[in-house]
Structure 1
Amino acid sequence: MVRDFDALTDTTRRDYLKGGSGLLVGGLLAGCSSGNDSTATTTTDTTTSDTTDETTQGTTVAEFPYTVSMAPMGDVEFEKVPETIFTRLTHLAGMAFALGRGNDVNAMHAPGYYDALWNQFTPRLPGVELDWTGLYSSWNVTKEKLYSLDSDIHLADPASVLALDSWDMADIEEIATNISPWFGNHYSHRHTEPPEAYADSYEYYTLWEQFEKVAQVFRDEAKYEALEAVHDDVIDTIETDLPAEADRPSIVMGGFTDPSAPYVYNVDTPGFLTAHVRPFEPVDAFGDDVQSGSRVDMEALAEADPDIILIFGGLHPTYDMAEIRTTLKDDPVAQTITAVENDRIYPQGGRYQGPILNLFQLEMTAKQLYPDQFGEWPEYTDGAYPELPESEQFFDRQHVADVITGDFES
């Protein structure tokens, strides 16, 4: 049943989560934020000492409530670790997945599409399973649906929800007060401007900085630290063998569902959408001539003449990489492009990547861009992420799987 929206003192609302809505709006309009503080603050409630031996995910009750801070929300207080998780974008759903909470997600953008995409990677993670089929598709979320879902946390950026035509600041505060907190950051994707109401409180985070804060929300910092160590090792591998600037290829990265008129994205802009490409310091074939997310025609693509074409979603089961390659080779304009002539058209995963996809995409991009340094990417047409020889893997699959499932020593 949908809740009464005006019931601001609804006693049936779970009492153990506090969104700090006064902080959310008051701090926001005053231009205050403590988003740089990456430490979760804990407060001991001495009146509940008789239950301090109980635990929630390894944290004693005496360590509640606790506060996690991130822009644009500011300080957000939690009485207990959230269980049910609302999300919109998959970088945040992917963070829940990395913490072993993927199946606690109850909503996300295009769940059928992203369930299929994420499950192209899970076969390489022994014992890890994920099912996002049938979830609420939350891109154009409504208040009514949020009341119906009654989630323990809205792992979503309130600024991005405010940008929807049907929402205002009173709605944002109402949900944080009546149901549960907002916690997310969207505009770090390309360091774009948030709605004006959030302009003074907004800060930008890397994918892994945001993941650290989400891990603090779920009191699972050990998993973050273990995965961050893997990420550090991957980045060290890349930086150690990165070719000289003169030897780096020019790249076009885009969506090629219509190969004759693809959407293209800059590969060198800040933000977590390029977190799997930017470490390689490639040359953007379009430079500043095309804005990220623009549609181009085949003549413009031929004029840019990239050495490599990276196709977002190319690993998705609905993509036919063989057909895309054939279409480009048969096109009289496209066949003149260096990437097409040299068969350097490669699949990618998703732009809104979580930490686990980021590890895989760093590995695949390394091999696609620099096979002489990092080993060749196998020719891919369909199916799950290729099973690479162990000696050519950038990270231990079993270890990452054990971190996700919690079967590891911190």
Structure 2
Amino acid sequence: MPNVDETSTEPTRRTFAKYGGTVALGGLLAGCTGGDAESDPAGDDGSENGSTDGDSDDSSTDDAGEGYTASISPTGEVTFESPPETVFTRLTHHADMAFALGRSDGITAMHAPDYYDGLWNQFVARLPGVSLDWSGLYSSWEPDKETLYELDSDVHLADPAWVTRLEGWDREDVDEVAERVSPWFGNSLSDRHQEPAEEWADGYQYYGLWEQFEIVAEAFRERERYEALAAVREELLATVEAGLPPEEERPTAIMVAAADIEQIYAYTLSNPGFLTAHTRPLGPRDAFEGSVESGTVVDFETILEADPDVILYLGGFEPETDMAGRRTAFEEDPVGSEVTAVKNDRIHPQGARYQGPVLNLFQLEMTAKQLYPDAFGEWPRYEEGPYPEIPEGKRLFDRGRVADAINGDL
């Protein structure tokens, strides 16, 4: 690994990625299911809320054959001489984007790789001919700059404005990595529309999940893959919109996560940001009525006071999570057992809030069935194993089309 002081300032083999004009660098992480680091938006029209002014997914090819450009906030415009193959990520919405664009084997780092490898593979199991292996990757929750030199990734699919929040990182550090290794090209503060630090605040743009996915696809020159997956999503959202009951007939719901049932975290269902990309389009009524912010610790008494019709349990698909035991903890507690969702056996598993496009499709289908079984088909009682095998006629999206897009069979 090159020492920072010994690293040449001359262009490396990754001169293929250069910043243009008003380039901004910096960024970081956010993302275990138990912590307050995930958010995801989608507007009433099925698009995810996030302004589209300023930097966008515009990309162009240099007529002289010197590459192409792509632009994303907060980095700005980046010139690529060739599509990136190896990809550094921090949060799983970016790792899922790389996976969806056929770069899963090229991912060099991600947050909690073994945990999310197990979780994502519960869903990938239902995609014919698709495989994923994130186990053993460098865990990038608090990345070391020298390790980024060692990994030598073609692109850092992470938000520099978040990375500079980390101890040991500042604007000079992210600029150095961009110049000497490869550029930053990601956006994470759109998760729940977090405020960037002052040095990044000017023009910082929020994107919806699929909005950002389109931008990333442009940077990877994978427009066809993006369009194939976006078409599946559009059809899924149209199905959802057509089947939703009137607002007054919708169930009340809450979303929770807990590594230990003694400490339960609650999360909002419809706030701006891509963390709610799978719940906002479904429009359930918030049982907390806005009184609980994301990441708030709640107890059985607080949940009973809200008395939700449905409880959505984050991380319920992770292989080490005892979903049956989580239900039992509610059922055997004198307070928890009185909650309507518990009485009616409507505690359902969820995957992760920092979802990318592939997980988002499964979570839209899953949550639609969990909230509205009469409209979209009943969700089977889940305790362990892969995502349930939904009969073909009751699926809300075509697994084969998704698999073909990931595998590049277009």
| TM-score normalised over the length of structure 2 | 0.91
Report what 1:316 is aligned to: 318
> 2:372 aligns to what?
370
Identity between Structure 1 and Structure 2 (%): 55
Q: Residue type of the partner of 1:284?
A: D
Aligned to 2:16: 17
Can you give the 5+ residue segments of structure 2 that lack an aligned partner in the other structure?
26-51
Structure 2 letter corresponding to 1:23: T
Say whether residues 1:234 and 2:253 are aligned partners: no
Structure 1 pair 161–21 and aligned structure 2 pair: CA distance change class (3 A): farther
Distance in 1 between residues matched to 2:319 and 2:14, nearest whole Å: 43
- Residue 337 in structure 1 maps to residue 339 in structure 2: yes
Aligned mates of 1:351, 1:365 — CA distance in 2: 12
> C-alpha separation between the residues in 2 aligned to 1:183 and 1:69?
8
Is contact 2:270-2:283 (8 Å) kept? yes
Report the Cα distance in structure 1 between the residues aligned to 2:310 and 2:247, rounded to whole angstroms: 16
Q: 1:3 maps to what in 2? A: 3
Cα drift, residue 8 of structure 1:
5.2
Give the match for residue 39 of structure 1. Answer: 58
> Shift of the alpha carbon at 1:65?
1.3
CA distance in 2, matches of 1:168, 1:332: 50
The residue aligned with 2:299 is: 297
Hey, what does 2:29 align to over in structure 1?
Answer: none
Aligned-residue RMSD, C-alpha: 1.8
In the alignment, the residues of structure 1 paired with residue 5 and residue 247 of structure 2 have an alpha-carbon distance, to the nearest angstrom, of 57
Query: Per-residue CA shift, 1:102-150, capped at 9, x if unaligned?
Result: 1110100000000001100111111101110110000101211111111
Paired with 1:337 and 1:15, the residues of 2 have a C-alpha distance of 57
Partner of 2:396, secondary structure, is coil
Report the equivalent of 1:358: 360
**Inter-CA distance 176–21: structure 2 relative to 1 (3 Å threshold):** farther
Q: How far off its partner does 1:256 sit?
A: 2.6
Number of the residue aligned with 2:88: 86
SS at match of 1:125: coil
SS of corresponding position for 1:291: coil
Q: d(CA) in 2 for partners of 1:294 and 1:401?
A: 37
* Pair 1:75-2:74 in alignment: no
Amino acid at match of 1:212: E
* Partner AA of 1:129 in structure 2: S
Counterpart of 1:209, as a letter, is: E
> What SS does the corresponding residue of 1:276 show, helix, strand or coil?
coil
- After TM superposition, give the deviation of residue 35 of structure 1 in Å: 4.0
Counterpart secondary structure, 1:237: helix
Which residue in the other structure is 1:199 paired with? 201
Count, aligned residues: 386
Residues 18-48 of structure 1, C-alpha deviation per residue, up to 9 Å, x if partnerless? Answer: 231763249xxxxxx9744322111122xxx
Question: For residues 47-94 of structure 1, what are the alpha-carbon distances to aligned partners after superposition, in whole Å with 9 as ceiling and x for unaligned?
Answer: xxxxxxxxxxxxxxx3x4111011111111111111110000010000
Q: Which runs of 5+ in 1 are unaligned?
A: 27-32, 46-61
SS in 1 for 2:266: strand
Q: Contact conserved, 1:24 with 1:173, CA < 8 A, in 2?
A: no
Letter in 1 for 2:294: S
Equivalent residue in structure 1 for 2:121, among 116, 119, 122: 119
TM-score, normalisation: structure 1: 0.91
Q: Label 1:25 to 1:404 Cα distance change in 2 as closer, same or farther (>3 A).
A: closer
Q: Could you report, residue by residue, the CA deviation over 1:159-218 in whole angstroms, capped at 9, with x for unpaired residues?
A: 010111211111111111111000000011011111221111211000000000110111
Q: Secondary structure at the match of 1:324?
A: helix
Deviations 1:200-241 (A, max 9, x none): 121100000000011011101011011000000000000001
What's the CA shift for 1:152?
Answer: 0.5
Kept in 1, the 8 Å contact 2:56–2:215? The answer is: no
- Which residue type is aligned with residue 42 of structure 1? T
Conserved in 2, the CA contact under 8 Å of 1:8 and 1:177? no
Q: What is the CA-CA distance between 1:383 and the residue it aligns to?
A: 0.1
